[in-house]
Amino acid sequence: MSNICVIGTGYVGLVTGTCFADLGNNVRCLDIDPERINKLNQNIMPIYEPGLEQLVSQNVKAGRLTFTMDYQEALKDAVIAFIAVGTPSGMEGEADLKYVRSVAESIADIVDQPIIIVNKSTVPVGTGDWVADVVTKRRAGKPLDFCVVSNPEFLREGSAINDFMMPDRVVLGSVDRSAAERVSQLYATLRCPILITDLRTAEMIKYASNAFLATKISFINEMSNICEELGADVTQVARGMGLDKRIGSEFLDAGLGWGGSCFPKDVKALAHMAVLHGTHPQLLQAVMDINRNQRRRVVLRLRKELGSLNDKVIGVLGLSFKPNTDDIRESPALDVIHLLQNEGAQVKAYDPQSMELVANSEKQLKLCENPYLVAEGADALILATMWNEFKQLDFEKIKASMKQPVIVDGRNLWDPDALSKMGFTYYGVGRGVKVNGE
Ligand code: UGA
């Protein structure tokens, strides 16, 4: 059992803190947002993450997990402090470290006991050294016994608790191997490979992993565009490729491209770091270009099918950047909606979790209570996010209520033959239908 403080209660901090508490540690989670902390203290989750509410409640009741805004209270007796605050993209794609700096300074101001500061936020390579510098300078004249460890996270939104409890690996980087080993004890019961490296290598592993996964998706999306031109089916191509163990079948689903709070920010930040240090990240640039273009291809397809999109009614199923989350950051669904609205289309949409969030920011978007109301009177229906509840819709009912039975299946979820037989004009992504791409 260790006394742990986790600073930042976003996806990463809240899941990490709760899971460490569940493993038997005494965890204090801190956030500077009063609304967030108030809600957490009433067991209201600030985010939608399957299983989280129950796990938080269990661990609060067991007395192992508390939430506070008070740094003194949060850091009291802590032997390890995790930094899990946001690192938003700056103007040039660089990661903005103002929140990380503020946490490092607060730790330096408050702590007197020996402490290991663990960086979980995704930060530019070299930030671990910089955090050590910030703390040392802040403590000038009154040295603190501390060490910085980088511990990148590999949690996926929507399956974050499982990913935490059953990781493929844990990566720890530090100039002080014994500090990294001390942190590794927190993960010992998870029985997964633990890789200990230097600080910068650990930080780089995180960027390289996300960039590789984004590359894999952009690769299959490029293949999907070629498949469309050549009359092949990308879903079968992906299956045929994925059975090769060297390739692997995950992250080979062609679609509207990747979004979320991680891939877009991290690929951009990695490319930015590369340019700053005089290298040419050509592959990363292509990976980002392909991703942007996947959204545009939907609009091109609809323009080709329907003519001008001005005043056409387009229904969109799904708004979150992927299923099982309410997160709409960099969501492909919203990008497509904006492109359609720019062409004068009237767009209506439904999502099982993120409608409240969207209602505040998307004033022109008509939100519907269910998928059938989205289809009603629509000239085309786009599937943007693969939520389970879209898997088995009543397509007879949908067809009867649409103005034109045109479907763009942006996630290759539905059966093209069945829908075509029912009289729909069906377009998937990379499923052998010719289209004039850009
Ligand atoms: C991603 C990584 O998968 C995590 O390992 C990492 O910890 C996290 O970023 C992070 O850096 O914090 P996440 O953003 O939650 O996790 O989402 P993913 O499940 O990786 O999906 C990212 C995007 O790729 C989604 O828009 C998804 O729809 C898309 N995607 C995924 C595809 O288009 N095709 C695929 O085959 C897989």
Same domain as 181, residue 246: no
Angle among Cα 94, 99, 100 to the nearest 5 degrees reads 80
In a domain, 433, yes or no: no
Residue nearest to atom 3 of ligand 1 (CA): 156
Same domain as 414, residue 273: yes
Same domain as 291, residue 402: yes
Relative to the CA of 209, which ligand 1 atom is closest?
A: 5
In a domain, 206, yes or no: no
CATH of the domain at 22: 3.40.50.720
Ligand 1 site-directed mutation target among 162, 168, 322, most atoms within 8 Å of CB? 322
In a domain, 216, yes or no: no
In a domain, 215, yes or no: no
Total residues found in the chain within this entry: 438
In a domain, 219, yes or no: no
Last residue of a domain, one of 174, 197, 220: 197
Question: Would you state the pLDDT for residue 437?
Answer: 40
Cα–ligand 1 centroid distance for 310 (angstroms):
33
Residue nearest to atom 17 of ligand 1 (CA): 156
Same domain as 193, residue 240: no
Same domain as 260, residue 375: yes
In a domain, 207, yes or no: no
Q: What's the sign of the alpha-carbon dihedral 220, 221, 225, 231?
A: positive
Question: Residues 6 or more apart from 45 whose CB is under 8 A from it?
Answer: 14, 39, 52, 53, 56
> pTM (2 decimals)?
0.94
Residue nearest to atom 24 of ligand 1 (CA): 258
Task: State how many domains the chain has.
Answer: 2
Residue nearest to atom 18 of ligand 1 (CA): 156
Same domain as 309, residue 247: yes
197 φψ region: left (φ > 0), alpha (ψ -120 to 50), beta (else): beta
Question: Residues 6 or more apart from 311 whose CB is under 8 A from it?
Answer: 344, 345, 346
| Residue that has been written with the tokens 């100039």 in this structure | 175
In a domain, 102, yes or no: yes
Cα–ligand 1 centroid distance for 263 (angstroms):
7
Relative to the CA of 122, which ligand 1 atom is closest?
A: 11
Relative to the CA of 153, which ligand 1 atom is closest?
A: 7
The per-residue pLDDT string of the chain (438 residues; one tens digit each, 9 = 90 and over) reads: 889 999 999 999 999 999 999 999 999 999 999 999 999 999 999 988 999 999 999 999 999 999 999 999 999 999 999 999 998 877 777 778 999 999 999 999 999 999 999 999 888 999 999 999 999 999 988 899 999 999 999 999 989 999 999 999 999 999 999 999 999 999 999 999 999 999 999 999 999 999 999 999 999 999 999 999 999 999 999 999 999 999 999 999 999 999 999 999 999 999 999 999 999 999 999 999 999 999 999 999 999 999 999 999 999 999 999 999 999 999 999 999 999 999 999 999 999 999 999 998 999 999 999 999 999 999 999 999 999 999 999 999 999 999 999 999 999 999 999 999 999 999 999 997 544 443
- CA atoms of 47 and 256, how far apart (whole Å): 24
Q: Which domain holds residue 254?
A: 230-427
Residue nearest to atom 11 of ligand 1 (CA): 262
Please give the structure tokens belonging to residue 234.
């990308």
User: Does ligand 1 come within 6 angstroms of the Cβ of 123?
Assistant: no
- CA atoms of 325 and 96, how far apart (whole Å): 25
Cα–ligand 1 centroid distance for 262 (angstroms):
7
- CA atoms of 120 and 154, how far apart (whole Å): 10
CA 356 to centroid of chain Cα atoms: 19
In a domain, 193, yes or no: yes
> What is the rounded (10 degree) CA torsion for 261, 48, 213, 221?
-90
Same domain as 145, residue 41: yes
Cα–ligand 1 centroid distance for 267 (angstroms):
12
Active-site amino acid positions? 262
Please give the structure tokens belonging to residue 185.
């004890």
User: Does ligand 1 come within 6 angstroms of the Cβ of 255?
Assistant: yes
Question: Would you state the pLDDT for residue 436?
Answer: 41
> What is the rounded (10 degree) CA torsion for 205, 210, 214, 215?
0
Q: How many CB atoms lie within 10 A of CB 256?
A: 26
Range list of H helices, 234-306: 234-242, 263-276, 282-306
User: Does ligand 1 come within 6 angstroms of the Cβ of 207?
Assistant: no
Cα–ligand 1 centroid distance for 365 (angstroms):
26
User: Does ligand 1 come within 6 angstroms of the Cβ of 263?
Assistant: yes
Relative to the CA of 266, which ligand 1 atom is closest?
A: 11
Cα–ligand 1 centroid distance for 173 (angstroms):
23
- CA atoms of 349 and 355, how far apart (whole Å): 9
Nearest in space to 317 (alpha carbons), one of 249, 386, 265:
386
Q: How many CB atoms lie within 10 A of CB 105?
A: 16
- Strands 115-119 and 80-83, bridge-based pairing: parallel
Please give the structure tokens belonging to residue 236.
């079968």
- Which H or E element spans position 152? none
